[in-house]
Structure formats: C-alpha cells, structure tokens
Structure 1
Amino acid sequence: MLKICLIRHGETDWNANGIIQGTLNTELNNRGKQQAESCATYLSKKNWDMIITSPLNRAKDTANIIANKISFNVEIMDEFMEKHYGEAVGSPLTNKALQDQAGEQFILFKKRVLGGLNRIIEKYDNKKILLVTHGDVIQVILTTLFQSNEYNIKVNNASLSEIEFNKVQWTINYFNRTNYL
C-alpha cells in the first residue's frame, strides 16, 4: 500500500499577512522554521521511506528541516509547485475574483498536480512518502481523490494530511492535523 503524508510548508511572512504568493519564492519566517522543526520531531517517530518536495524555497526548506531530522535525501518534483497566480501575486487572499481569473488556468494546474501524483504511484508503489507542498496543491489532491469540497478549506501551515492507495482506491486517514505544533 502506498502511503503519502501531505505536508503544507511552514509559515512565511506572506502567509502571516494573508497575501497571495503563488510561485513567488518566499522564505520561511521564524515561526515557519519552528513549525517545520515540530513537524520533523513528530514525523521522526514513524517510519517513512522518502521525502518529495515542491521546488519553491518555503517547501524545500521545510522538507530539508524534516530530512535533517530523519536522515533522508529530498527529491524535488516540479509538479507539486504552487499554482501560478500571475497578477494576483501580492494581493490579499480575500480577493477571490482576481485569484480565480489570474495566472495558471485551474484545469492545467490540476492536471500538473495529478500528473505528479500518478508519477508517484507508478514509481513508488508500497512506499511511505512525505510530500511537502502548498495549500492549493493539497486541496486539489484531496478534493479530486475524494470528490468532495469538504477539503476545499484553508490548509494550515505545517499541517499534515495522510492518504493511502491500495491499488484500487484512496482512503484518507486524517486532514489538516496540527496538534503537534
């Protein structure tokens, strides 16, 4: 059985201020680094096989903090990069109309993310994988796999959502867990 723990990167100043980042390469703030450390400590108590991350610094740095704690190399997969928001970058998260219209078309974003997920299924059957990525990526994965808008809510920084694939169907073990922070 393939198990994937979806991890949203730690906090950035842009997250703290409610500003759209998209593919802008922002850095973790001090709180984000502490969140990643707490996440690493929690995850080090379980057995994992590998870490995959988005190429953006905030996700890569979160993944590296976790990897240093559990002695893994980090594999970068571009498919799990955040949605490109074009002219919406730098605007408030509350500007939903601009988010929906700007940048990467949602259908292409979804296709990219699900392509990455399929690549993991093909390449890493029966592995336990930590996937460090972004809130929109996690939402696309969960709302698509489970055909539900139940997961189309804010995904918290440094939260964990665990899914499993038994070669026939996906199950979700938990969503948006932050009790270890």
Structure 2
Amino acid sequence: QGDLEIAHNGVETFDEVKKRVLGIVDHIIEKHPDQNVVLVTHMDPIKAMLSTVVDLSPTNLFELIIANASLNLFRENKRKFSISGLNVMHPTRFDQGW
C-alpha cells in the first residue's frame, strides 16, 4: 500500500526507480561492451541494483546503509549481475556514528 500512496503523490515507487536504473544500465552495457565503467549516483539507484542481485524488499533495503562516497562494485556477465564490493572505503570511515 505504501507504494500506491507514493505513486499518488507523484513520487517514483521503488519498482519505477529500479526499472529506470536497469534501463540506464542496459544502455551503458550496449554502448561500452567488455569495458569497466564508473557511475556516480546516490543511494536509491545503488539499492535498485542490489535488489537485482539479492532478493530484498524495498523495506529491507531501507535498513541498509550505503555510505556517502563509498565504492559499490557490480559485475555483469550475459545480463546477470553480481556484487564484488559493497560500501568499500577506508576503514576509519566506518566509525561515523550511523
């Protein structure tokens, strides 16, 4: 029901964000096959990508903290994604009082 309320207020639902993000990722894969690509984004697109690899609901993803300026690494092989790094950063940054 929460997604329905959000949609009625003109805000993208998580499924809409995920669809948009995957469309962009597909476009990048087509334009840069077999290349490493760096994307700079905010937390929601990262969580959308995570949800394609790990079956987590938007509610569970809400509990996951993606640190500012952290590195999150995804690999793609034949349209299948895997995670090779999540919240990668210098260890001293983990003590930020989250």
TM-score, length-normalised on structure 1? 0.40
- Considering only aligned residues, what root-mean-square deviation do their CA atoms show, in Å? 2.4
Task: Note the residue ranges of structure 2 that are not aligned, 5 or more in a row.
Answer: 94-98
Given candidates 33, 36, 43, the residue that maps to 1:128 is 36
Deviation string 1:30-83 (CA, Å, 9 cap, x unpaired) is: xxxxxxxxxxxxxxxxxxxxxxxxxxxxxxxxxxxxxxxxxxxxxxxxxxxxxx
Deviation, 1:131, is: 0.5
Distance between the aligned counterparts of 1:142 and 1:156, measured in 2?
14
* 1:53-72 equivalences in 2 (<5 Å): none
Deviation, 1:104, is: 1.8
- Aligned position for 1:175: 86
Given candidates 138, 149, 153, the residue that maps to 2:56 is 149
Aligned residues: 82
> Percent same amino acid at aligned positions?
34
Q: Amino acid of the residue matched to residue 41 of structure 2?
A: T
Distance between the aligned counterparts of 2:79 and 2:24, measured in 1?
18
Distance between the aligned counterparts of 1:123 and 1:132, measured in 2?
17
Distance 1:133 1:169, change over 3 A: same
Distance between the aligned counterparts of 2:81 and 2:12, measured in 1?
27
Matched, 1:160 2:71: yes
| Larger RCO, structures 1/2 (Cα 8 Å, 6+ apart) | 1
TM-score, length-normalised on structure 2? 0.69
